[in-house]
A and B are shown apart, each in its own frame.
Chain A
Amino acid sequence: QTVVTQEPSFSVSPGGTVTLTCGLNSGSVSTNYYPSWYQQTPGQAPRTLIYSTNTRSSGVPDRFSGSILGNKAALIITGAQVDDESDYYCVLYLGNGISVFGGGTKVTVL
């Protein structure tokens, strides 16, 4: 069974930088998995941040960026703001119509 792994939580100071990662239990994450990232606050629908590894969705501030770091996909928040306190989910596309979400990372800004 394919499992997508994310850190459960991260804390960052306002103005600081945090790197969230997205791994695969069965191997390395590459651009072929089309990693995407979503932000969600409690009670709200997810918001699309990044797709195709590093492309920002329309209206997403440039303090959010995506990349491949080593064998994982990464979401980097540079200059974190209080409003960035949210849950963040990565998704990998496995092919044949199947997508898998990671377990999510809760980011606290304080």
Chain B
Amino acid sequence: EVQLVDSGGGLVQPGGSLRLSCAASGFTFSSYAMSWVRQAPGKGLEWVSTFGNSGTYYADSVKGRFTVSRDNSKNTLFLQMNILRAEDTAVYFCAKRERQPYYFDYWGQGTQVTVSS
């Protein structure tokens, strides 16, 4: 059974940093692209980043501030978030991204990130 467990969220001041983790199990982690998707309070879902076979990709809203990485030996995906802003406040979900046709087939439960002074 595929499982994704998100962790690492919390309260951080504007300008601060936070690192999220997503522990994966039930599939060959190294063979799949993995993504982060977020949802601000009362808002819709927003794609944030993908670590794919060909590289890493970011939404314009986080480019230059967020870095996605993975440790295939530990089946874990990370999101390093720097220079955090109030508008980064959201629940962050990791998602397994299937190969072509490029959709998100499994989701973590989400971890809350709050940026506030």
Which residues from chain A sit less than 8 Å from chain B, CB to CB?
Answer: 1, 34, 36, 38, 40, 45-48, 51-52, 55, 57, 87, 89, 91, 93, 96-104
Distance between Cα atoms of A19 and B46 in the complex (Å): 23
Q: Given contacts A52-B101, A93-B101, A96-B57, are A46 and B44 in contact (CB under 8 A)? A: no
Distance between Cα atoms of A93 and B100 in the complex (Å): 10
Residues of B within 8 A of A48 (CB): 103-107
Closest residue on chain A to residue B33 by CB atoms: A97
Chain B interfacial residues counted at CB < 8 A:
29
Closest Cβ–Cβ distance, residue B106 to chain A (whole Å): 8
Q: Which secondary structure characterizes the binding site on chain A?
A: strand
Question: Quick check: B109 and A101 within 8 Å, CB to CB?
Answer: no
Closest residue on chain A to residue B47 by CB atoms: A99
Question: Which has the most chain A C-beta neighbours within 10 Å: B45, B50, B59, B105?
Answer: B45
Question: Quick check: A97 and B103 within 8 Å, CB to CB?
Answer: no
Q: List 11 A-B contacts (CB under 8 A).
A: A45-B107, A45-B108, A48-B103, A48-B106, A51-B98, A51-B101, A55-B101, A57-B105, A97-B33, A97-B54, A101-B37
Check: B93 CB closer than 8 A to any chain A CB: yes
A-B pairs with the 8 shortest C-beta distances? A97-B57, A52-B101, A36-B103, A51-B103, A34-B101, A93-B102, A104-B44, A45-B107
Question: Quick check: A51 and B105 within 8 Å, CB to CB?
Answer: yes
Closest residue on chain A to residue B54 by CB atoms: A97
Q: Which of B45, B97, B106 contacts A89 (CB 8 A)?
A: B45
Closest Cβ–Cβ distance, residue B85 to chain A (whole Å): 19
Question: Quick check: B47 and A38 within 8 Å, CB to CB?
Answer: no
Residues of A within 8 A of B54 (CB): 97
Question: Quick check: B101 and A38 within 8 Å, CB to CB?
Answer: no
Distance between Cα atoms of A92 and B19 in the complex (Å): 27
Question: Quick check: B103 and A34 within 8 Å, CB to CB?
Answer: yes
Distance between Cα atoms of A91 and B59 in the complex (Å): 14
Q: Which of B44, B47, B52, B104 contacts A103 (CB 8 A)?
A: B44
Residues of A within 8 A of B57 (CB): 96-98
